[in-house]
Amino acid sequence: MNDDVSIRIEQGEVSAIIGPAGSGKTTIAANLATVFSIKHNLCTVILDTDPQGSLGKWFLMRKDKLKDKNTIEFKTASLWGAQYEAKSLKQKSDIVIIDTPPKIDADGRPAIEIADLVVIPISPSQVDFWATESIIELAKREKKEILILINRANAKSKLIHEAIKFVDRMKVKKAKTILGNRQIFVSSMGLGLTVVEKQRTGKGCLEMLALAKEIKSFLNI
């Protein structure tokens, strides 16, 4: 399978982070938004459709900590309202990142429909592979570009190779970047920050910078 494919998406369009429970969607959404905003100077909006509200709590902590230095905009919507809200937001921003609930079924179709790129994080486990299949099929039916991201990976685990085989079998694109199972991703979120604001050269920071650069290339922004 050829991963060296550039997907052209016009500036101001939408990327949705969709995946099974525990795959790290919220952490990835927050980190990507931060990198796009502070490292690439892109006008970035997070649209949170997860009723758990974890991302909203992170954002409130972030605003309280950074005050006017925060450069990310944050909005909420129901899954059914995501399409309308995203259409409005993309008119005045470079990128809108939609964070979705742990369970995505037919009700999640509006978020997929509005997305130009669907990023699906998976942990290298058979349970995640099973849970991800229906999400991939839903995005395929909507004829969306799909990017699978292997997350919470142990470099020594053979399951990474199983994850790669799974992506190949599903005939979708895989991110070249693999995110390790690193505590810094969790601890930085608990402070209202992200890994790139806590590290400059650590592995977690370098992985997230590489992922953002890769997705930015896909989005052609």
- Distance, in Å, from the CA atom of 106 to the CA atom of 158, rounded to the nearest integer, reads 33
Task: Please tell me whether residue 146 adopts helix, strand or coil conformation.
Answer: strand
Tokens of 157: 């685990």
Q: Where are the chain's structural domains?
A: 13-215
Residue 2 confidence (pLDDT): 40
Within 175-214, strands assigned E span none
Please enumerate in sequence order all residues whose Cβ is within 8 A of that of 166, keeping only pairs 6 or more positions apart, or say none.
122, 129, 132
Tell me, rounded to whole angstroms, the distance of Cα 148 from its chain centroid: 10
- Distance, in Å, from the CA atom of 199 to the CA atom of 117, rounded to the nearest integer, reads 28
The domain defined by 13-215 carries CATH number 3.40.50.300 = yes
Strands 13-17, 117-122: pairing is parallel
Residue 102 confidence (pLDDT): 79
Residue ranges in the chain whose pLDDT is less than 70: 1-11, 104-107
Q: What is the largest CA-CA distance in the chain?
A: 47
Residue type, 141: R
Residue 106 confidence (pLDDT): 64
**Burial state string for 30-46 with b = 16 or more CB within 10 A and e = fewer than 16:** bbbbbbbbbeeebbbbb
What count of Cα atoms within 13 Å lies in the side-chain half-sphere of residue 120?
32
Decide: 28 and 123 in contact? Cβ < 8 Å: no
- Write the pLDDT tens digit of every residue in 66-78: 999 999 999 999 9
* Residues forming a β-bridge with 153: 180
Residue 3 confidence (pLDDT): 38
Residue 20 confidence (pLDDT): 84
